[in-house]
Amino acid sequence: MEKNIQFEFLPITHNSAKIIIPKRFRDNIWASKIGDIQRSIENVLSTNSLIEFNFTECRWVDPLPLLSMLMEMANAKKIGHEVQAIFPQGDKGSKQSENSWTYQSSPNRFLLFLAKEGVFKEILEHNISAKIGNKALDHDAIKNCEFLPALPSYADSKFIPVKLFE
């Protein structure tokens, strides 16, 4: 039986969990709940449990929560859980009226960020099962995300690729 772990509410079973990443995954939300998620992965779930990290509704993520979730996915995999990450499908882009908005309804800016920051590459490096929409994450999917119709949120944003070390 699967239970959802949301940042507002944290029920769990011994054999599966679904962590739903909020639409705006900011530092304050992360700080209030990451400990509960870490304890659940380490102590509550039995080994070989399925843990789904569901990013399908997420449109913005601050760097610290993003790195933390990546570390939790890699750690869960390392200690014997089956880990799956699900991301939204790219689309035609934001409405023109949203182009200057930080928070857009299109997932393209979020996917571009994950691709350019190296997050998707690290997911592959750690053998984490992942999908963008209904397609498996692979190098071609990452390349496609780098060319989605979107612009970074900040005019002078610099992408520094993520790298996890054991």
What one-character-per-residue DSSP string does 16-81 give?
A: EEEEE--SEE-HHHHHHHHHHHHHIIIIISPTT-EEEEE-TT--EE-HHHHHHHHHHHHHHHHTT-
65 pLDDT higher than 80: yes
97 pLDDT higher than 80: no
The mean per-residue pLDDT over the stretch 146-161 comes to 72
Structure tokens at 65: 């929560």
Closest CA to 133 of 163, 104, 159, 111: 111
CA distances from 36 to 11, 19, 107 (A): 10, 11, 27
CB 66 within 8 A of CB 34: no
The mean per-residue pLDDT over the stretch 14-34 comes to 85
* 75 pLDDT tier (thresholds 50, 70, 90): very high
How many Å apart are CA 133 and CA 130, to the nearest integer?
10
Contacts of 134 (CB under 8 A, 6+ apart): 89
CB 29 within 8 A of CB 15: no
137 against 42, higher pLDDT:
137
162 against 19, higher pLDDT:
19
94 pLDDT higher than 70: no
82 pLDDT higher than 70: yes
Task: Domain ranges for the chain, please list them.
Answer: 4-146
Lowest mean pLDDT among 29-43, 79-93, 117-131: 29-43
pLDDT at residue 157, rounded to an integer: 59
Q: Express as a percent the part of the chain with pLDDT over 90.
A: 42
How many Å apart are CA 68 and CA 20, to the nearest integer?
14
